[in-house]
A and B are shown apart, each in its own frame.
Chain A
Amino acid sequence: MNAIVKIENHDKQEIKFTTCYMCACRCGIKVTLEEDKVRFIQGNRNHPTNQGVLCAKGSAGIMKQYSAAKLRKPLLRKPGSERGDGEFVEIEWDEALEMLTERLGNIRATDPSKLAFFTGRDQMQALTGLWAQQFGTPNWAAHGGFCSVNMAAAGLYSIGFSFWEFGAPDWDYAKYFIMWGVAEDHSSNPIKIGLEKLKRHGGKFVSVNPVRTGYSAIADEWIPIKPGMDGLLALSVVHVLLSRELFDWEFLIRYTNCAWLVVDTPGQQGNGLFLRDEAGNPLVWDLEKKTFVNGLEKDIAPALFGDFVAPDGRPVRTVMSLTAERYLDDRYAPANVAEECGVPAETIERMALEMAHVAFKETVELDIEWTDSWGRKHDKVIGRPVAMYAMRGIAAHSNGFHACRAVHLIQMLLGALDGPGNFRARAPYPKPVPPHQLPENNLDVINAPNTPLSRTPLGFPMRPEDLVIDADGNPLRIDKAYSWEIPIASHGLMHMVITNATNHDPYAIDTLMLFMSNMAWNSTMNTKNVQDMLREKDPEEPGQHKIPFLVVVDAFHSEMVNFADLVLPDTTYLERYDTISLLDRPISEPDAAADAIRYPLIKLDRDVRPWQDVMVEMASRLKFPAFTNADGSRKFEDYKDFIVNYERSPGVGFLAGWRGKNGEKSLKGEPNPKQWEKYIENESFFAHHWPDSQKYNRFANKEYLDVAAEVGFVGKSEPIIMQVYSEPLQKFRLAGQGLYDGPQPNNQTDRERLAKYFDPLPLWYKPLEQARVDENEYPFFALTQRPMLMYHSWDSQNVWLRQILAQNYMYMNRGQAARMGLQDDDWIWVESHNGKIRCQMRTMEGTQENTVWTWNAIGKQGGAWGLKPNASEATKGFLLNHLISELLPAKQGERRITNSDPVTGQAAWFDLRVKITKAAPGEEGSWPEFPALKPLPWDDGKRPDTLRYSTRSDDKPSEQ
């Protein structure tokens, strides 16, 4: 007997395409709707990012849309209640916007720096940055400072593109792939698609990671490194490669600054800077002409190695000579780093040789004609098919900038960048090294009332003159980015904002506006104390908080919302217009420049507004010049209108597709009033596929660079020379050494840090916290990562996702646990220099023996995120954040210094060291405990015992 299965009725269904926002990958999604309810979310087969597939988060978007934690109306802290008590009254949007306009208007008319605007995991930094610039405050950044700035900065100061969004491995041709410290939630679908391709083609996948889960699970070789030692391992690989002359002479001479000459006059001004001609061009020694020539010229024969005497008598050496001397030192020999790295010397040696074998003996040659920047035609593209990728495991250490530079150094030595099988750039990258964009640092402009900044608050300093400091050397930004303490903080230091603002150091602010960032919980270090700081009153201004006004913009009831004075409720990603812009964090792939949109698929059922629209509205009310016509009237009706008509430079706007009056132009062209419609017709994304001749070696690919210059990706079409040796770093180091012909720091600590950490060549040093705590007392490294199925704090509210993971455990190597008398499900105390927590543990094989780790952001404050106060996320889940201080352990004679990479200000989450003891019998449940958040005004706090979500309308589906 076979029944006939009834196929569903599609009559009331509609299919729409938009862009996912369940994480930062921004995949294309195809959404089936049935009477304004979401029936099905699947990957868009045509989308360059995900090619039809979709991860757990993406499919679980339905449960995000119907989350019980959604905010419903603007909220004002209840008059008379204390901040953090979570008592709110509902107010109307008009009232909220008027209140904010008045407050911000006053700040802007007096001291614009008193507004700090920081944003979390948003994908609209081009807009928020423009908004801050137009407001006139330097105090803006997104979350990059505690996420990935080490990767971004290391890449952009070395190779012109970087790990994460500015490049991707070439999965089609790679034969050897090394993944350094990549947490399993990162770049979700693209990496999974790629790893499968790589393995199917027979490529080898090596994972360097203290934990073997997620991507590392399927690695052909797992290298369980000790946290923070990646840079040392990479430099040891460099040692092996150099010691056997395994490097790509052509690549280094043509495309890097390895042949450039460095002035070698230790202790003198100008030491370590490039030898340059009068026009400022770097000089090299021409082996044929036997003289110094402009290193940027065509048809020269630069010496890669050598010591020379400059015409002015100063000794000079090539960058490569310095490099070889540095890394051929026995310090970097595998046998001498094995113990520190926790990786056997043979393994290091073999890794290096395997890479070299694949790079030099399994070369890929494609019959693609291309022209280099010097006009030479090539009939082939050569690929050295070693690809690499790196992320948080390297980034989140205070030595991460240099560790990442060390990885780039390997790539440069192998000539394995932007060729077939390499790590390849994604438009609009590569850019000049570093990109020509300086942070606003003109004090007059910054202090001027009602005046926009002349350029964006963030950029890439080239020299001490570019720092954002006052005449006395004090920071001008609330997060102290671009100060002597953190000179190259290209993404800001969001993790310092609350601490600095509370300490009025360097100054007091008036309003802190946070968008989509859970700074009162999992997105901050030192959570419990930060909550106290948010509550702290100013003794000098009775009744006022240290941070006087706190505006929180979010779509959901997060722990941060609980501390707001004013809550502006945002929509979900299925309810609004949005752009994923090339001006921002691009979704391009190596083979195509791409951008995308979102548009409302579902009608709003509550009184919330898209933050984009609110920003345009505020900008108009506050009469920001870019948002106001000459007659004072508003320029843009709303966000949608803004996106179509705003031009950053003529022909360049937020969206690159279907520009020109009739939508006939790509990448550049005048505004097209029907641009949104064109995107919607085209499945909500735009992709400009590069012709074969523009796909590779784009740092010196003339055809590509011509286009890139034309559409504004780069200033002009000229080769992008990779910087093995970073002169900007050396300039800061000279300032630290008192040898710089320009601004220099007064403070001894700053001087020492600059001298030590601003090494122009990649460097390894012990992570700063680890160097300050007693390793015998705190024997374990402690880390977190996000699981593949969740993204930061957002997904515990998701009914489906939380069934998979509703409690985190502290994972420890099984053998190690046995030696300590610990076993699965024991409750343990974990203690750092900053505090202690109690949590439950599990054992596993796949954890490096000196490391413990847990899932991040599973622990929740009771009552947050729409959960019941007894949810296991609140009673058994925990945060490691309590143990991590935003400041380094105090040191005598030194002011408190941020717990960050000293070069970039990247939050050093993973430098943490802890000790572990078994909890006493009866000590159970996670600790510290927090009181449950109060329900919001519209919420009776009741939650159903069952959920039976379905759009199936032909009831009782079944068979006959």
Chain B
Amino acid sequence: MRLGLVIDLDVCVGCHACAIACKEWNASGTTAPLTDYQPYGAEPSGVWFNRIRSYEVGEYPNNKTINFPMSCMHCEDADCVTVCPTGASYKRAEDGIVLVDQNKCMGCNYCSWACPYGARELDRESGTMKKCTLCVDRIYDLQIPIEERQPACVLTCPAHARMFGDLDDPGSAVSSVVRERGGYQLMPELGYNPTNHYLPVRKAKPIPTENLGKPGFKDKIKGIANRIVKR
């Protein structure tokens, strides 16, 4: 099993709902709490697992704004795990989720150096590295209703731009949508083989505009034959 996310860039409006839902769930989750620095001060900051950036592609007026959420990609070849000296970072054999054992981490930041996607953030208060757990404490919690056993970000996404599932199973909804929509991985050249995939922007099919009336109705009005419409 290879659990991960598929993110649909065609419908992501950049609302940060996923980022906050993530923060909210994980503030009391397995690596709780997620420290906030200067919460009321000049330059607020904090530990987050999911950040949304926005890009502009092309130039005015043919520009497109694309919102781009990023969290841990749960890579197949996760260098963050390989480089971890303490064994705190690990990738689960049964579902591919990459986690950090908070009891083992020494806070050397090295895993974050190895991660190209910015998925790992150090909590200065606990001195440990924290990251997306794919809400491992939700998806396997049998006391949560089955339809809610999904990562908090997926559950909340108002545009349904986030999908969760097994990318190993060719029959899963996430695998199909990746096939159908040409889902892609980020920075494939680095060879991390990230599990998460991104669906590109769709191209709307053109709407025909031929054979729609004839110009010149203005000239017809005076002598117009009214249509009989009963009411």
Contact = CB atoms under 8 A, between A and B. Distances in A.
A/B contact in complex, CB under 8 angstroms: yes
Interface of A: 1-3, 5-8, 10, 34, 39-43, 45, 50, 52-60, 62, 68, 176, 184, 188-189, 192-193, 195-196, 199-200, 202, 204-205, 212-218, 220-222, 224, 242-246, 249-250, 253-254, 287-288, 298-306, 321, 324-325, 328, 350, 353-354, 356-358, 360-361, 374, 788-789, 799-804, 806, 813-815, 844-847, 849, 866-868, 870-872, 875, 943-952, 956-959
25 contacts: A42-B156, A43-B155, A56-B15, A56-B20, A60-B20, A62-B24, A200-B11, A212-B63, A212-B65, A213-B14, A217-B14, A298-B231, A299-B231, A306-B224, A358-B207, A788-B13, A800-B20, A868-B41, A871-B41, A871-B44, A948-B36, A949-B27, A952-B32, A958-B102, A958-B103
A357 B208 contact: yes
The 3 residue pairs across chains A and B that have the minimum distance between CB atoms: A244-B213, A845-B63, A192-B158
A813 B40 contact: no
B226 A305 contact: yes
Nearest to A318: B226
B29 to A, nearest CB: 7
B18 to A, nearest CB: 8
B21 interface: yes
A213 B54 contact: yes
Contacts of B14: 213-214, 217, 788
Given A40-B25, A199-B202, A867-B41, 4 more contacts: A7-B143, A218-B10, A789-B15, A946-B37
Contact of B158 (A41, A50, A944): A50
B39 interface: yes
Nearest to B126: A948
Interface string B155-169: 111111100000000
Contacts, number: 319
A788 B54 CA distance: 13
Given A53-B158, A846-B56, A242 B229 contact: no
Interface string B34-56: 11111111111110100000101
A803 B43 CA distance: 8
A224 B218 CA distance: 30
B74 interface: no
Contact of B217 (A192, A244, A306, A358): A244
A10 B215 CA distance: 69
B226 A54 contact: no
Nearest to B36: A947
A673 B30 CA distance: 44
A303 B94 contact: no
Contacts of B19: 56, 804
Given A2-B90, A40-B25, A42-B156, A300 B230 contact: yes
B77 interface: no
B91 to A, nearest CB: 9
B16 interface: yes
A55 B152 CA distance: 12
A53 to B, nearest CB: 4
B6 interface: no
Nearest to A374: B231
Contacts of A6: 30, 137
A58 B94 CA distance: 34
B229 A253 contact: yes
Q: Which of A213, A800, A871 has the most CB of B within 10 A?
A: A800
Nearest to B102: A958
A42 B155 contact: yes
B207 A204 contact: yes
B156 A53 contact: yes
Contact of A7 (B54, B56, B140, B213): B140
Nearest to B57: A845
Contacts of A799: 36, 39-40, 44, 46
Contacts of A50: 158
A813 B60 contact: yes
A716 B154 CA distance: 46
B42 A196 contact: no
Contacts of A58: 17
A287 B228 contact: yes
B189 interface: no
Q: Which of A59, A176, A845 has the most CB of B within 10 A?
A: A59
Q: Which of B8, B41, B152 has the most CB of A within 10 A?
A: B41
B140 A244 contact: no
Nearest to A359: B212
B28 A948 contact: no
A803 B36 contact: yes
A246 B212 contact: yes
A373 to B, nearest CB: 10
A259 B147 CA distance: 54
Contacts of A958: 30, 101-103
Q: Which of B23, B33, B39, B46 has the most CB of A within 10 A?
A: B39
A802 B13 contact: no
A243 B28 contact: no
Contacts of B46: 799-800, 803, 947
A845 B58 contact: yes
Given A204-B204, A246-B212, A214 B13 contact: yes
Interface string B198-215: 000010110111001111
B82 to A, nearest CB: 14
Contact of B140 (A5, A62, A220, A866): A5
B19 to A, nearest CB: 7
Contacts of B190: none
Contacts of B228: 287-288, 301
Contacts of A213: 14, 54, 65
Nearest to A2: B92
Contacts of B142: 7
Contacts of B30: 5-6, 957-958
Contacts of A189: 158
A789 B15 CA distance: 6
Contacts of B12: 218
Nearest to A53: B158
B15 A192 contact: yes
B208 to A, nearest CB: 6
B44 A806 contact: yes
A636 to B, nearest CB: 37
B63 A217 contact: no
B49 to A, nearest CB: 13
A801 B221 CA distance: 58
A188 B15 contact: yes
A104 to B, nearest CB: 36
B15 A52 contact: no
Given A218-B11, A849-B60, A958-B101, A55 B231 contact: no
Contacts of B24: 40-41, 59-60, 62, 800
B93 A803 contact: no
B188 interface: no
B94 to A, nearest CB: 7
B45 A803 contact: yes
B67 interface: yes
Contacts of B29: 8, 952, 957
A42 B21 contact: yes
A821 B204 CA distance: 37
A871 B230 contact: no
A407 B202 CA distance: 28
Interface string B94-116: 10000101110000000000000
A59 B28 CA distance: 13
A103 to B, nearest CB: 35
A56 B227 contact: no
Contacts of B220: 245
A801 B19 CA distance: 10
A41 B221 CA distance: 60
A250 B229 CA distance: 6
A353 B36 contact: no
A249 B231 contact: no
A645 to B, nearest CB: 36
Contacts of B90: 1-3
B182 interface: no
